[in-house]
């Protein structure tokens, strides 16, 4: 039997969202941005480190990919811990823990590839913040507003743009340690603020089962694997471009390091702006429709870029179109998660899906670096992106659409649907 629809706070559908929920959303978004800023510190410096340490293309790609994979896999236990202990506890801990590798890299860990890889490994802690914020935000908002709320939170991935815009300039103005010291200071301020101000939603669902049992239950949910496959393409594509685009633009188009970093920041900012829009549109049109449109745009953009067109205007338009589509698709994926996931498992599902997204961003830089080293061109890499996006589009229009129709989860807001927190 389907129970009457209620939010985790107990209010009926369409009830007003309290101001405190918006405050928690703002604090969580800032925390996500700050941790992602730290997580992305190595990417803008990769070309400079390649020159100073005489790294190969593969070693440079590995350098920027290590924090991505660690931050991605770390989301699985961190998401489950957030379900159990709440974002109020876990968010300050993650932020404080990220300070350690940031200081290490800034003060001592940038003198060799081995030291950078060690620092980059622990820098991945910052990437787990995503799995903390989604369940925290999800619990504060009613089902019909979660697409927008989680989309707004997801805009915190713009922390990578902060890194892209400031890191190289701060190094030029000061020293290699300058951006790391500033970021560590901001992380410390946020950790203290979050510990004092951040709160979990009243009446949130707290699981009592052991971690292993909860993760096993998460693995049995179809939405876990459906959303993971889609997020690996949508957010994975965003992560891959945000860490590798400066290298690609510098190598493929002979841009300066600063110009390449600025263009990457533009890519990131557009993707960030489109993520809340993707969530908002999913609340109204349904997440499957938004995902299908987004993936179709990615296919077209990747095909165009595979021919290595002139950067102005075709190349720029292709990258901007893909940025908008990847951002909207990322927002739509978690609109789907928020509709289909039981309340007490949002953190666990978010951890697995977030891990898939991060891992989706881990492989492309390595593949692109290896292909360029072997063939002297990036065309094959973009052709592979087009194929993967096309496969995800076909999956969305078949298996995912069928699953969401069965659950009534692709209906626009206001129509009856079975959502997170309901039972049959």
Per-residue model confidence as pLDDT tens digits over 199-247? 999 887 787 788 788 888 888 888 899 999 999 999 889 878 877 888 8
* Mean pLDDT on 119-126: 93
Q: What is the pLDDT of residues 157-168, one digit of tens each?
A: 888 878 878 898
What average pLDDT does the structure give for the chain?
A: 85
Task: Tell whether 168 and 249 lie within a shared domain.
Answer: no
Residue 416 lies in a domain: no
Task: Tell whether 149 and 286 lie within a shared domain.
Answer: no
pLDDT at 413: 55
Distance (Å, rounded) from C-alpha 221 to C-alpha 235? 21
Task: Tell whether 176 and 233 lie within a shared domain.
Answer: no
pLDDT at 3: 35
Task: Tell whether 230 and 176 lie within a shared domain.
Answer: no
Query: Does pLDDT of 300 surpass 60?
Result: yes
User: Which structural domain, as residue segments, surrounds residue 344?
Assistant: 216-408
How far CA 278 is from CA of 29, 42, 189, 219, 281, in Å, comes to 16, 29, 31, 26, 5
Task: Tell whether 179 and 328 lie within a shared domain.
Answer: no
Task: Tell whether 328 and 367 lie within a shared domain.
Answer: yes
Residue 4 lies in a domain: no
Query: Does pLDDT of 132 surpass 60?
Result: yes
Q: What is the pLDDT of residues 27-38, one digit of tens each?
A: 999 999 999 999
Residues 98 and 35: beta-carbon distance below 8 Å: yes
Distance (Å, rounded) from C-alpha 295 to C-alpha 416? 27
Helix axes 379-395 and 222-253, enclosed angle (nearest 10) = 160
Distance (Å, rounded) from C-alpha 153 to C-alpha 168? 27
Q: Which of 165, 200, 235 is the last residue of a domain?
A: 200
Task: Tell whether 226 and 106 lie within a shared domain.
Answer: no
Task: Tell whether 81 and 181 lie within a shared domain.
Answer: yes
Q: What is the DSSP letter of 396?
A: I
Residue 206 lies in a domain: no
Query: Does pLDDT of 423 surpass 80?
Result: no
Sign of the Cα torsion 204, 208, 209, 210 reads: positive
Q: How many domains does the chain have?
A: 2
* Mean pLDDT on 180-189: 96
pLDDT at 296: 97
Q: Which of 200, 231, 252 is the last residue of a domain?
A: 200
Q: Which of 143, 169, 200 is the last residue of a domain?
A: 200
Task: Tell whether 29 and 101 lie within a shared domain.
Answer: yes
> What does residue 56 show for φ and ψ, rounded to 5 degrees?
-80, 170
Task: Tell whether 139 and 250 lie within a shared domain.
Answer: no
Per-residue pLDDT band for 424 (boundaries 50, 70, 90) equals very low
Task: Tell whether 221 and 183 lie within a shared domain.
Answer: no
The position carrying tokens 């991060």 is: 358
Distance (Å, rounded) from C-alpha 248 to C-alpha 30? 29
40-44, 381-385, 390-394: which is most confident: 390-394
Percentage of residues in the chain with pLDDT exceeding 70? 92
- The region of weakest confidence among 146-155, 172-181, 189-198, 292-301 is 146-155
């Amino acid at each position: 039997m389907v129970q009457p629809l209620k939010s985790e706070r107990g209010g009926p559908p369409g009830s007003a969202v309290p101001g405190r929920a918006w405050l928690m959303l703002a604090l969580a978004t800032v925390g996500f941005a700050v941790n992602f800023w730290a997580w992305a510190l190595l990417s803008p410096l990769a070309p400079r480190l390649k020159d100073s340490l005489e790294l190969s293309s593969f070693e440079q790609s590995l350098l920027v990919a290590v924090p991505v994979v660690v931050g991605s896999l770390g989301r699985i236990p961190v998401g489950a811990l957030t379900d159990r202990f709440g974002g109020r506890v876990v968010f300050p801990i993650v932020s404080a823990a990220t300070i350690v590798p940031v200081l290490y890299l800034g003060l001592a860990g940038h003198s060799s590839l081995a030291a950078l890889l060690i620092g980059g490994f622990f820098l991945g802690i910052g990437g787990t913040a995503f799995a903390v914020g989604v369940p925290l935000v999800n619990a504060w908002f009613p089902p019909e507003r979660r697409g927008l709320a989680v989309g707004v939170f997801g805009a915190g991935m713009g922390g990578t743009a902060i890194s892209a815009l400031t890191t190289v300039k701060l190094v030029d103005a000061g020293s290699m340690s300058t951006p790391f010291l500033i970021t560590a200071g901001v992380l410390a301020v946020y950790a203290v603020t979050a510990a004092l101000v951040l709160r979990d939603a009243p009446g949130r669902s707290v699981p009592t089962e052991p971690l292993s049992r909860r993760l096993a239950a998460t693995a049995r949910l179809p939405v876990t694997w459906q959303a993971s496959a889609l997020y690996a393409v949508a957010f994975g594509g965003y992560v891959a471009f945000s860490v590798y685009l400066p290298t690609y633009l510098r190598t493929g188009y002979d841009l300066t390091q600063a110009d390449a970093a600025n263009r990457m920041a533009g890519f990131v900012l557009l993707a960030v702006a489109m993520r809340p829009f993707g969530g908002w549109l999913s609340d109204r049109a349904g997440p499957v429709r938004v995902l299908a449109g987004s993936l179709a745009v990615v296919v077209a953009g990747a095909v165009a870029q595979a021919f290595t067109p002139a950067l102005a205007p075709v190349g720029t338009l292709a990258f901007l179109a893909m940025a908008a589509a990847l951002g909207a698709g990322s927002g739509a994926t978690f609109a789907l998660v928020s509709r289909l996931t039981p309340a007490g498992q949002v953190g666990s599902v978010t951890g697995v899906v977030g891990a898939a997204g991060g891992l989706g961003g881990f492989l492309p830089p390595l593949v692109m670096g290896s292909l360029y080293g072997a063939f002297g061109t990036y065309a094959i890499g973009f052709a592979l992106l087009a194929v993967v996006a096309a496969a995800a589009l076909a999956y969305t229009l078949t298996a995912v659409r069928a699953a969401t129709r069965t659950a009534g989860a692709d209906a626009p807001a206001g129509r009856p649907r079975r959502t997170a927190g309901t039972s049959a």
